[in-house]
Amino acid sequence: MSAPRLEDVLSSRGMVRFLKALVKSGEATITQLMRESGLNYRLAKRYISRLEAYGMVARRRIGGITIYSCNLGNKYMALIRDLILRWEED
């Protein structure tokens, strides 16, 4: 897949809240990300699917549970993670 466009990754306030929740949690289930971001399942699933398609999210299964985390091997996710962490320092 080609590089994601910044306006697609940071497409809405909801996506930004979702990214912040993902970065702050380190790793989390979709339910935990929904709770932290305040988003409903439909939006959370849409955002996680989009980020997975861009290669920005890693996924692993533990039994029947899916755990998501930032794929820091993806330079765009690494940049966004650094931005969020620095922005939230204050």
| Residue 45: closest CA among 12, 68, 25 | 68
Distance of CA 45 to the CA centre of its chain: 10
6-85 is classed in which CATH architecture?
Orthogonal Bundle (1.10)
For the chain (90 residues), the mean pLDDT of every run of 10, in chain order, is 82 95 96 97 96 96 97 96 90
Please say whether the beta carbons of 70 and 54 come within 8 A. Answer: no
Q: Which two tokens stand for residue 3?
A: 């590089």
| Residue at token pair 């998501």 | 68
DSSP annotation of 39 reads -
Q: What is the pLDDT of residue 1?
A: 60
Single-letter code of the amino acid located at 79:
L
Q: What is the pLDDT of residue 3?
A: 82
- Specify the pTM: 0.89
b/e per residue 1-22 (b: at least 16 CB within 10 A): eeebeeeebeeeebbbbbbbbb
